[in-house]
Amino acid sequence: MQVDLLAGFGVGFLGSRLKRLAERMQADAAEVARALDLPVQPSQMSLLLTIRLHGPIAVGELAERLQLAQPTVTRALKPLEDDGFVAASRAPGDGRTKRLALTEKGQALLVRIQTELLPRIEPAAAELVEGLRGDFMQGLARVEQRLADRSLLTRMEAAGPPTMWARDFSDDLAQAFYRINAEWIQDMFALEENDIALLSKPRELILDKGGVVLFAQTPELGVVGTCALMVSKDGWVELTKMGVLKSARGLKVGEFLLAKTLERAASLGMDKVYLLTNKKCGPAIHLYEKLGFVHDAEIMRQFGARYERCDVAMSYRGR
């Protein structure tokens, strides 16, 4: 048995081990990107997503939002600019500050990343860390062993083409966010003033305040569902505006979306998540319970008045 010298050096070399892990995983992701003829490196994908969400954006702000060193961001941006995926322009009234935006070519590339590449990477990465508990260093060693046993590339190839994937919000999906939720709500209730405000201004009222909007998409039906995380008060985050088109019901879109949204909440450190609903939504309540939500009278007291139809409040306790 070959000894892992880097692991043997101890926790003082944690950064080196994480860098090694990242290099191995990103190499496999890059191989899949090449096979799909996608001219992007894994390290560039977060830049493209952030520019689309917050652009036009200055390089310094981009680095700050991703909590990366500015030279690292600048190096990763250069090929994206050279290849015409990102364009820089001077900010009005400030000839020194360049602001970055995606070009039409860059928008098309990002759509392909979210519909072809990420749906292959995410399940394979999730499999690597599935079921890990306890000491972090021991968990890290198990992830490294799993990766040695079966590479990320092998896991992606075994999974085959994705049948459903999650997409982050973009302005071209704003209409879908409104339409899906309006259909879902009006099937049993009436749209309230609070609904209309959130559905009409998801960027201003959800994303710009630190929240998240996700969509579910399938190859055959396109975008079929959506769900959001909205920053509330006292550290709480509301899981809200989860809706699925009637044409996609029966495909377990709701369960997929809910799991992805909770996964995103965990990755953002959002550990106080609640939701508001109505007793008429029996199947949805059963799903919430299945994935770790419990009925919570204090949440009802604190937040329930936001909707006239609300008679059920739940908080997330995990599975």
Mean pLDDT of 49-77: 92
Averaged pLDDT score across all residues of the chain: 92
pLDDT in tens, 13-39: 989 999 999 999 999 999 999 999 999
Domain-ending residue, one of 98, 133, 159: 159
Q: Are residues 125 and 214 in the same domain?
A: no
Mean pLDDT of 270-284: 94
Domain that holds residue 65: 5-159
Whether residue 296 has pLDDT greater than 90: yes
In DSSP terms, 86 is beta-bridged to 102
Q: Are residues 134 and 185 in the same domain?
A: no
Q: For the chain, give the percent of residues with pLDDT over 90.
A: 79
Q: Are residues 148 and 57 in the same domain?
A: yes
Q: Residues 6 or more apart from 62 whose CB is under 8 A from it? A: 47, 50, 51, 54, 73, 100
Mean pLDDT of 74-86: 95
Whether residue 1 has pLDDT greater than 70: no
Q: Are residues 136 and 196 in the same domain?
A: no
Note the pLDDT of residue 246.
Answer: 92
The phi and psi torsions of 276 (rounded to 5 degrees) equal: -125, 135
Q: Are residues 96 and 205 in the same domain?
A: no
Q: Are residues 28 and 116 in the same domain?
A: yes
| Lowest model confidence (mean pLDDT) among 122-131, 178-187, 197-206, 269-278 | 122-131
Q: How many residues does this entry show for the chain? A: 319
Note the pLDDT of residue 265.
Answer: 92
Note the pLDDT of residue 132.
Answer: 87
Note the pLDDT of residue 97.
Answer: 79
Note the pLDDT of residue 2.
Answer: 67
Domain-ending residue, one of 135, 159, 183: 159
Split at pLDDT 50, 70, 90, the class of 95 is: low
60's torsion region: left (phi>0), alpha (psi -120 to 50) or beta? alpha
Note the pLDDT of residue 205.
Answer: 95
Mean pLDDT of 90-109: 84
Split at pLDDT 50, 70, 90, the class of 7 is: confident
Instruction: Give me the half-sphere count of Cα atoms (radius 13 Å) on the Cβ side of residue 37.
Output: 0
Domain-ending residue, one of 140, 159, 178: 159
Structural domain count of the chain: 2
Q: Are residues 60 and 94 in the same domain?
A: yes
Q: Residues 6 or more apart from 138 whose CB is under 8 A from it? A: none
Q: Are residues 154 and 19 in the same domain?
A: yes
pLDDT in tens, 228-268: 999 999 999 999 999 999 999 889 999 999 999 999 998 88
- Identity at 209, one-letter amino acid code: K
Q: Residues 6 or more apart from 310 whose CB is under 8 A from it? A: 276, 277, 278, 300, 304
Q: Are residues 74 and 191 in the same domain?
A: no
Structure tokens at 297: 């009278």
Q: Are residues 176 and 128 in the same domain?
A: no
Q: Are residues 187 and 305 in the same domain?
A: yes
Note the pLDDT of residue 276.
Answer: 96
Q: How many CB atoms lie within 10 A of CB 237?
A: 22
Q: Are residues 250 and 306 in the same domain?
A: yes
CATH (domain of 17) = 1.10.10.10
CATH (domain of 203) = 3.40.630.30
Split at pLDDT 50, 70, 90, the class of 169 is: very high
